[in-house]
Structures are given as structure tokens and as C-alpha cells.
Amino acid sequence: MATFTYALDDAMPDACRGGVLTIGNFDGVHLGHQALLAEAASQARALSCPAIAVTFDPHPSQILRPDRLQPPLSTMDDRTVLLMQYGATHVLILKTTAALLQLTAADFFERIIVGQLNAAALIEGFNFRFGKDRQGTIDVLRAACAGKKIPLTLAPPCEWQGQPVSSSRVRTALLTGSVETVRTLLGRRYRVVGIVGTGQKRGATLGFPTANLTDVATLLPGDGVYAVRAIVDDKPWPAAANVGPNPTFGENARKVEVHLIGFVGDLYGKTVAVEFVTKVRDTKRFASVQELVAQIRADVAEARTALASEPEA
């Protein structure tokens, strides 16, 4: 298994040629994406060829609509790991440039899918679009594949509660703090990763020291307190995390502060992953520090209880 990065006009890696392809942004690698990867892997085994997940970096919206760009659900590093975990033999990252985005659907198909990748088969979802201005519809793809005698499998939507699973649906649930729903849509707990920076050190004075995460590149859940698993040096810790501002102290900046239950030691500068299990409560302003401390004590106890029956992995 390997990851390759390709720019338009580069020589295509031999390992990525002649395989079963599935193409998309795959942000979050949710259940719908996983179904595509499983089908690609199944067909690749039958054809004795690799299953290739083709994705894009940066997201095309960063070039086409930078004013509407939102943080991703997964970093590219995490995405490549997940794509291979769920079935891809190799991941091919296409560098998103203006030149790539100017390729018409016909050009993209002929130049990349046929010419560069020599696709043995294609696996795509019901809403797949490709080429300049997303003019490559499913009907366009079906006709192009028929013309080149490339087998095309169109996977039906993966549904939950009667609606298709999608990255936008994951985002909506995440922003409302519905991390259990997000877990269902992803098939795993949602996680963010950051570097522990220096905060106000107020938590330690209150009796609940916190790790303040910086450089978080992915979308944060909605404001509130959560029961989470914090992973430090590959070891999981039960924890409570506050996402959002601290209105009791007049702070409006959104932060991620994590109290690792039972941890003793220095976390500054360490990389910490936080996996969200359940929401404990919404953000609230307290009338006094004493009232806040009492609530934090209750939050930690509730987080500990919620995590007691929760598997670590």
C-alpha cells in the first residue's frame, strides 16, 4: 500500500495503472465512501489488480470558491490512511490546480482515466460529477465508459434514517454537537488532532488542568462540553473536553480544552488526538468561579460514567 501525488503532465506511477478506480474528495471517509472502497476492493481482487482511490488536494473549493471554504472533516494524511484501511490498495492524490480544473469532462476521462491510469473498471456513487464546472454527469460517465468498454459500477446511496449519508450531513450533525450521529455516519468516532499549547493555565488553579489544543486543521464540533477519549503517545485517556468560548471569564475565542482524567505529567508541545464520544452539555456562563468549579466537577464525573462502558478503540 502506498500514497502517490500526481500533478498534471507528471508521469503516472506504474502502481496506479490498470486498476479499479474510485474517484472523489472523500472528505471524512464516511459510510458511503466506505461502500465504494469495499466494492472497488472486491472487483480488484476478482481482476487481480489494485484498487485505486483517486482524490484531490487541495479541495477544488479552495481554488474555485475560497470564500465558502470550510475546514475539512479529515486531514489529507488521515484521509489516505482511512482510504487504505477501508479497501484502497493505493491512494493517488491529484494536485488541484487551475489547469486540472479547466479539463472538460471528456478531457478528464480521456487524459487521466483512460490515458494516464488505463482504468480496468470504475466505481462511483450516485451523485458523482467530474470535469470543468462539474459538467460530467453520471450519464456522461456511463456513455464514456461504454465507448471505451470500461466496466462502470454505480453504487446506490448509503442511507441512514431514510436519507443518504454525505459529508454535508456529517458536517450538519457535527456543528449541532450530535457526535453520536456523526459516529454512526462515519462508522467510527470523530477525531480532531492538535498540538498542546500554552493557555491561561486557569484550569490548574481550578483543580482541573487542561490541555489547550492549537493547530487543529479540521472542523470542530459545536460549542459544548463532551466526554472524549484523548490519545497521547498512543495511549487513550478518558477525558472531558470543552469546545468553544469561556463566557464565565469573558473570553469569546473558540478553543479546545481537554482535561485528561487521572493524567499526571507535562503535555506542552505534544500531539494529542481527541475522539468525541457524547455531548455532556451546552456552553453556559456561570455567575461565579465556585459555580463553574462545581459544574466542571459534575461534567468530569458524567464524562467518566459515559466512558466507563465505552471501548477504548
pLDDT, tens digit, for every residue of 48-94?
999 999 999 998 888 788 888 889 999 999 999 999 999 999 999 99
CB 260 within 8 Å of CB 232? yes
> In this model, does residue 200 exceed pLDDT 70?
no
| Tens-place pLDDT, residues 277-294 | 999 999 988 888 899 999
> In this model, does residue 98 exceed pLDDT 70?
yes
Percent of the residues in the chain that have a pLDDT greater than 90, as a whole number? 81
DSSP 89: S
> In this model, does residue 242 exceed pLDDT 70?
yes
Nearest-angstrom CA–CA distance, 39 and 21: 10
Closest of 227, 232, 223, 211 to residue 253, by C-alpha: 223
DSSP 119: -
| Tens-place pLDDT, residues 151-170 | 999 999 999 999 999 999 99
Nearest-angstrom CA–CA distance, 280 and 306: 9
Query: Could you tell me the three cell numbers for 29?
Result: 471517509
Helix/strand/coil for 46: helix
Residue 221: asked if its preceding bond is cis (omega within 30°), the reply is no
Nearest-angstrom CA–CA distance, 91 and 13: 11
**pLDDT in the model for residue 202:** 59
**pLDDT in the model for residue 247:** 76
Please give the domain boundaries of the chain with CATH numbers for all domains: 2-163 (3.40.50.620), 190-308 (2.40.30.30)
Compute the Cα dihedral for 290, 295, 300, 301 and give only its sign.
positive
> In this model, does residue 201 exceed pLDDT 70?
no
**pLDDT in the model for residue 203:** 58
- Average pLDDT for the chain: 93
With a threshold of 0.75, does the pTM exceed it?
Answer: yes
**pLDDT in the model for residue 117:** 96
| Tens-place pLDDT, residues 218-238 | 999 999 999 999 999 999 999
